[in-house]
Amino acid sequence: MKQTFNWGIIGIGKIANKFAQDLRVTPNARLLAVASRSLDRAQQFAQQYDAEFSYGSYKEILNTPNLHAIYIATPHVSHCENTLMCLEHQIPVLCEKPFAMNANEVGRMISLARFQQTFLMEALWTRFLPTTHKVLELIEEGAIGELISVKADFGFKATFDPESRLFNPGLGGGSLLDVGIYPVFLALLLLGKPEGIKAVASIGPSRVDENCGIILQYTNNKMAMLHSSIIAQTPTEALICGSLGNIRINSRWHEPTSLTLLKEGEEPRDFFFDYNSNGYRYEIEEVMRCVRDGQQESDQLPLDFSMDLMNLLDQIRMKAGIYYPHHDALSKTIRVEGGTRFSMN
């Protein structure tokens, strides 16, 4: 029988609750320690999920005995700082998406992980879902022929609050980094890095992107059409088009769901998957497997992919005029469409 894998969690918001719930249904996994800026909240969370240790500061969790990995579930703007703190103590890290606020921060995280020879992975849970594996399998076996285009959206209507995580630029708010990352991820996974990028965003009263539309252009006339929103409910589907047919990942496509194979002259073929969790179990199992095998990164979601993804998000932001003044480097100012001036190093 495998040894129990002990997890810690830094940041105990909504997504941390879902993660902790999935630890309960993951074989040989348990929540050992939690850390929050509030000791009372940490203690309540620990009691709810049977964690042995609870802390009122993030640094305290680093000294937890027999801790095998930490899941970072703090706001985007803290991901780099929190990850570096753990890596400095050679504690394996699963960091929630987006990995950080820009490629410069991601580069620092990856460099330290490799220097410390410590495992690091972005928590892009969609990559590990059975739906994603099935899509890759169908494409690989030629079920839809040559891949031509990807169309994906993710939008929901949030209650406007300029101080909330979604609408506060100081907390990394906006649609692109919060939910737009999913369509961009899918395009990068299936089509690779684009040759051309077009992007526009509607900037709301709190100065974050409330809508973002993206077109990625590839060689051989391939294309991705992507959309994200925090002010409108969208279908939240993904359509992958090929020369012989299409694959539709049904709503909501980024989480545990079903998919349909559509081919001309044939009845639609549905694929259903038996989930017994929120869907985070699969990334949890990947981290546990990698750490036990002595791997420093995942073969399915390598660090170079996460760097490519953040570079792509940076380029989209530059095109769309989406700017985070406390995180974007200003050493080389660039003028982009719409008159916004900023740079990414």
Instruction: Express each pLDDT in 231-284 by its tens digit.
Output: 999 999 999 999 999 999 999 999 999 999 999 999 999 999 989 899 999 999
**Rounded-to-integer distance, Cα 104 and Cα 16, Å:** 26
Could you say which DSSP state residue 102 is in?
A: S
Tens-place pLDDT, residues 286-296: 999 999 999 99
Beta bridge partners of 200: 213
Picking from 280, 317, 342, the residue whose alpha carbon sits closest to that of residue 123 is 280
* Percentage with pLDDT > 70 across the chain: 95
Residue with the bigger pLDDT between 341 and 55: it is 55
Which pLDDT tens digit goes with each residue over 306-328? Answer: 999 999 999 999 999 999 987 77
Q: How far apart are CA 270 and CA 176, in angstroms?
A: 30
Distances in whole angstroms, Cα of residue 99 to Cα of each of 83, 125, 143, 276, 300:
9, 12, 33, 27, 16
Asked if 18 and 273 touch (Cβ cutoff 8 Å), the reply is no
